[in-house]
């Protein structure tokens, strides 16, 4: 009762605050400030026709590196906890529908994920969503079999390699033009073609590989019944 009442009061107060504040955010008609310069200069600066990717990977590349680190910390914590205290979700025999789906769908979904990553600079997509799509293939395959796949330590190896290459791509900029994560020193190419956008495709691949292996490792850790992941 007290719990419900307290919750109600807190939600009502915050609802009143939201109702007062949100109408103050009037609809803008024009781009302003940093958003304007990203849109007006983005394609010339980075060679990427997807301006969201240009912001994520080129302009705010350092923030994305930090984001990758946050994701790494969280997934490491999950895997560590599940290794110390295995939940060991029992792998029951999959139904015929799931088993069949797990045989047919992985290849097209994998292709879609790779497309997502490889075309991050010219169409909607990017390393994070593409990596998640690829990790979902891993989950599907795992659901379609009653055993836990044996990665023989390859997942952490891919993850480390991908994280390392993101950092090294950043240092490559320091070596050549003296700027960390500089995007344009290789030339930016013709926007809209697959080989364009400077370092963006390479960084997207690194992010995609890292996210895919991280999430796969987390999925696998939930099935862990003891022993190493």
Partner 1 sequence: MSTAFYWSIAGTAAGLVLVGLWGILTRKHILRIALAFTLADTGVNLLLVWSGYLPGRTAPIVDGTISASGITSAVVDPLPQAMVLTSIVIGVAVAALFVVVGVLASRRTGSADVRRMKELRW
Out of 45, 46, 54, 62, point to the residue binding partner 1 (CB under 8 A): 54
> Is residue 200 at the binding interface for partner 1, with CB under 8 A as the rule?
no
User: Would you say 115 and 139 are in contact if contact means Cβ atoms under 8 Å apart?
Assistant: no
Minimum distance, C-beta of residue 3 to partner 1, in the bound complex (Å): 6
Stretch that binds partner 1, among 73-81, 95-103, 139-147, 166-174 (CB under 8 A): 73-81
User: What torsion do the CA atoms of 86, 87, 92, 97 make, to the nearest 10 degrees?
Assistant: -110
Query: What are the structure tokens assigned to 195, written together?
Result: 């080989």
Stretch that binds partner 1, among 48-56, 109-117, 153-161, 182-190 (CB under 8 A): 48-56
CA atoms within 13 A on the CB side of 139: 14
> Is residue 104 at the binding interface for partner 1, with CB under 8 A as the rule?
no
User: Would you say 120 and 201 are in contact if contact means Cβ atoms under 8 Å apart?
Assistant: yes
> Is residue 88 at the binding interface for partner 1, with CB under 8 A as the rule?
no
**Could you tell me how far CA 214 lies from the centroid of its own chain?**
10
The binding track of 22-41 with respect to partner 1, each residue x by CB under 8 A or -, is xx-x-xxxxx--xxx-xxx-
Out of 46, 75, 165, 188, point to the residue binding partner 1 (CB under 8 A): 75
Interhelix angle 96-104/127-143, rounded to 10 degrees, is: 140
Question: How far, in Å, CA of 46 to CA of 42, rounded?
Answer: 6
Tokens 């697959």 belong to residue:
194
> Is residue 4 at the binding interface for partner 1, with CB under 8 A as the rule?
yes
**For partner 1, which is the closer residue by CB, 11 or 104?**
11
Tokens 């364009």 belong to residue:
196
Query: What are the structure tokens assigned to 209, written together?
Result: 């590989």
| Residue ranges binding partner 1 (CB under 8 A) | 3-4, 6-8, 10-11, 14-15, 18-19, 22-23, 25, 27-31, 34-36, 38-40, 42-43, 49-52, 54-56, 60, 63-64, 67, 70-71, 73-75, 77-78, 81-82, 85, 87, 123-124, 126, 128, 191-192, 211, 218
């Amino acid at each position: 009762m007290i719990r419900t009442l307290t919750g109600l009061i807190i939600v009502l107060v915050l609802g009143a605050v939201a109702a007062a504040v949100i109408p103050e955010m009037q609809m803008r008609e024009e781009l302003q400030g940093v958003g304007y310069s990203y849109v007006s200069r983005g394609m010339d600066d980075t060679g990427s026709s997807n301006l969201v990717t240009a912001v994520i990977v080129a302009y705010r590349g350092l923030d994305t590196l930090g984001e990758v680190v946050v994701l790494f910390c969280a997934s490491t914590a999950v895997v560590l906890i599940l290794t110390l205290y295995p939940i060991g979700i029992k792998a029951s025999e999959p139904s015929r529908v799931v088993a069949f789906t797990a045989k047919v769908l992985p290849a097209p979904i994998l292709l879609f994920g790779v497309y997502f990553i490889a075309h991050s600079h010219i169409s909607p997509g990017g390393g994070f969503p593409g990596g998640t799509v690829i990790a979902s293939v891993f989950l599907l395959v795992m659901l379609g079999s009653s055993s836990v796949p044996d990665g023989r330590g390859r997942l952490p190896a891919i993850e480390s390699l991908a994280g390392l290459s993101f950092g090294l791509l950043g240092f490559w900029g320091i070596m050549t033009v003296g700027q960390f994560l500089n995007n344009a020193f290789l030339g930016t190419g013709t926007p809209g073609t697959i080989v364009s956008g400077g370092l963006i495709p390479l960084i997207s691949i690194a992010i995609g590989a890292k996210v895919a292996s991280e999430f796969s490792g987390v999925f696998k850790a939930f099935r862990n019944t003891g022993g190493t992941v």
